């Protein structure tokens, strides 16, 4: 049986490091940082570690309804979503994930854009 991206990347310990690095970039982004002004980053990084693990085929589950409910009040536009995908892609590349694996994670995230990007 083939290993998942999650397994190939080193499991939760590695994904946690990836997510911490990703959020360093997010907080430096003038487009994304305003979304996190009053956010408990420790809780968010824990949550996002599970979400990125999910996107990588790890042992975590997120329903579409859950994702939509978490994001509907945030007013995330397409530009903001694209910035997030770009920074995540850069971060995955910096952690030496295989190009195909990086593309697969980006596709999984892109597939969920309708749940995250505001419909307004």
Q: What pLDDT score was predicted for residue 94?
A: 97
Copy the structure tokens of residue 6: 């999650």
Q: Is 96 left (phi over 0), alpha (psi -120 to 50) or beta?
A: left
Give residue 2's pLDDT band: very low, low, confident or very high (50, 70, 90).
Answer: confident
Domain boundaries, the chain: 5-116
Average pLDDT over residues 93-117: 96
Model pTM above 0.85: yes
Tokens 């397994």 found at: 7
Topology of the domain comprising 5-116 = Globin-like (1.10.490)
Q: What pLDDT score was predicted for residue 120?
A: 61
Instruction: Give pLDDT tens digits for 61-92.
Output: 989 999 999 898 889 999 999 999 999 999 99
Angle at 30 between CA 9 and CA 35, to 5 degrees: 75
- SS3 state of residue 78: helix
């Amino acid at each position: 049986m083939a290993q998942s991206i999650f397994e190939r990347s080193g499991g939760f310990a590695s994904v946690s490091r990836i997510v911490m690095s990703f959020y360093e970039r997010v907080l430096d982004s003038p487009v994304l940082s305003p979304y996190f002004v009053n956010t408990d980053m420790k809780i968010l990084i824990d949550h996002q570690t599970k979400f990125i693990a999910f996107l990588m085929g790890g042992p975590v589950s997120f329903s579409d309804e859950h994702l939509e409910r978490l994001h509907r009040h945030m007013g995330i536009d397409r530009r903001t979503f694209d910035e997030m995908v770009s920074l995540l892609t850069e971060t995955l590349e910096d952690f030496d994930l295989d190009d195909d694996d990086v593309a697969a994670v980006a596709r999984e995230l892109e597939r969920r854009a309708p749940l995250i990007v505001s419909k307004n």
